[in-house]
Chain A
Amino acid sequence: MTMSGDRIEADEVGARLRRFLAEQPDARGGTITGLTRAGSGRSRDNWLFDLTVDGAVEPLILRTDPEGGLIDTDRAVEFGVLQALEKSELPTPVARWLDADGSALGRPSLIMRRLPGTCDYRVLRDPARPLEERIGLARAFCELLAAVHAVDWPALGLGGTLPDPGPEAARAELDYWAAVLRADQLEPWPEMEYAIAVLGERAPRAGDTVLVHADFKPGNILLVGDRVTALLDWELAHLGDPLEDLGWVTQPLRAGEHTIDGAWEAADLLAHYERITGTTVDRTALAWWVAFSTFKTAVMQVSGLRAFLEERAEVPYRPTRRVLATMLDAVLEGVA
């Protein structure tokens, strides 16, 4: 798309936004300024803008479902989770308005208050930051994850938005992602069938049911300097086993985001988590969740491939050799 194409798209988004907000009692008569697409790429469809109502300026972000991507999630669920979390101590954005079916904004969308800070996927490997600062950030991220798991979800009413899988959380997640695979695969994937078979036989039972973020990573954490200002992207959040998030952040495929070579390894992350939560992480069950995380990543790539071939995505996703090899190594050696 050309610069003028970007301008036309911004004009269309602005027109839709104005019509949508005119229907909202607490936004009526407001003025939209500074509408720009977030980031420089096309892989995200988030738009930043300010809304001025009666002289008060509110910084906002419009988060729209992409036409195709790695995951297909329900914006209404994310909106409900964010609303419930406003009553918690977690640093989450205030959810303002929802267009659940996309009838007003073109695609399912939610509008949130914008928080200060920037995301950096590779912040723990950023050579511009001193090592001590990066280790401090790694600890802060671990403590943020523990805080997510400590959320009193029944008191916040999250049980009304998210189903509680109880001790069968592992089985429920495996079934969910196996169903995504079946829905999106364009060809047989015996590699993933093998993973499903092995994981299905070894699914651990969950001890506690907690709020699981399910895509916890530095790229979803806003920072101002070395201070965490927000945890974003709650579209995959659900109730489940805390080991699910720990498996996600300690899986080999994510090492570049969550570890610092020689200074903050997966074992350090787990030890810190145990220290601050006063719990002991079951390493056998964790190995299952690590293996599951690689399977989930592979399924996301299958969904992404379909989206690309159906011209809903512009990134040529495909199950990669690295992901398939890591997944099979995890089920052959770690679980089988």
Chain B
Amino acid sequence: MRPTIDEQLAGASRLLRLAEADPEIAPGVAELVRNARRVVAQVSASWSAALPFLRKDNARIAALLGVDEPMTTGLDETARRNEELRGELSRRIRALPPGPERAAIGAHLRSRVDADPT
């Protein structure tokens, strides 16, 4: 499948870099182009890792909550389930007193920050 997703993102980055380097560019436009290039770079670096990350995160949160984790397939469905689980985790945090159960959630959240590719 050509261009691949990565090739299309790389192409967009290249064009934005060219626009940014134009000596005639107005400062305000250069800032817009730079911001757009940052978004494209972020997506380029993370899109392919998002689905496996979310699947693993769903399994970990489900274990923390003590619920069964149904199988999800595509990115949209898995992301939607992740949002549901994170909502439930938020409610659990609000209800929990200090202690090992809440500390385990804190430890999960901290490791998730490092693992999140998005």
Contacts and interface: CB of A to CB of B under 8 A. Distances in A.
Interface of A: 1-3, 5-6, 40-43, 187-191, 193-194, 197-198, 201, 314-316, 321, 324-325, 328-329, 331-332, 336
A329 B110 contact: yes
6 contacts: A1-B29, A190-B86, A191-B113, A316-B35, A321-B113, A332-B110
A42 B113 CA distance: 30
Contacts, number: 80
Contacts of B114: 321, 325
B52 interface: no
A194 B106 contact: yes
A2 B19 CA distance: 13
Contact of A328 (B26, B90, B96, B106): B106
A201 B98 contact: yes
Contact of A190 (B38, B89, B98, B107): B89
B106 A315 contact: no
Contacts of A314: 31-32, 35
Contact of A193 (B28, B42, B93): B93
B116 A41 contact: no
B109 A194 contact: yes
Task: Summarize A's interface: helix, strand, loop or mixed.
Answer: helix
Contacts of B26: 1-3, 6
Contacts of A187: 83, 86
A193 B31 contact: no
Given A1-B28, A197-B93, A314-B31, A191 B109 contact: yes
A321 B109 CA distance: 12
B27 interface: yes
Contacts of B15: none
Contact of A188 (B35, B89, B105, B107): B89
A188 B86 contact: yes
Interface in B15-48: 26-29, 31-32, 35, 38-39, 42
B81 interface: no
Nearest to A329: B110
Contacts of B103: 336
B2 interface: no
A329 B26 CA distance: 41
B27 A315 contact: no
A6 B105 contact: no
A197 B39 contact: no
B93 to A, nearest CB: 5
Nearest to A324: B113
A198 B105 CA distance: 12
A2 to B, nearest CB: 6
B87 interface: yes
A3 to B, nearest CB: 5
Contact of B110 (A40, A189, A325): A325
Contacts of A42: 28, 31-32
B106 A336 contact: yes
B113 A190 contact: no
Contact of B105 (A2, A41, A190): A190
In this complex, which of A3, A191, A331 has the most chain B Cβ atoms within 10 angstroms of its Cβ? A191
Contact of A194 (B27, B42, B93): B93
A328 B35 contact: no
B60 interface: no
A188 B112 CA distance: 14
Nearest to A201: B98
Contacts of A316: 35, 38-39, 42
Interface in B38-78: 38-39, 42
In this complex, which of A6, A41, A190, A328 has the most chain B Cβ atoms within 10 angstroms of its Cβ? A190
In this complex, which of A3, A43, A189, A194 has the most chain B Cβ atoms within 10 angstroms of its Cβ? A194
A325 B83 CA distance: 20
Contacts of B109: 190-191, 194, 328
A167 B110 CA distance: 32
Contacts of B86: 187-190
B30 to A, nearest CB: 8
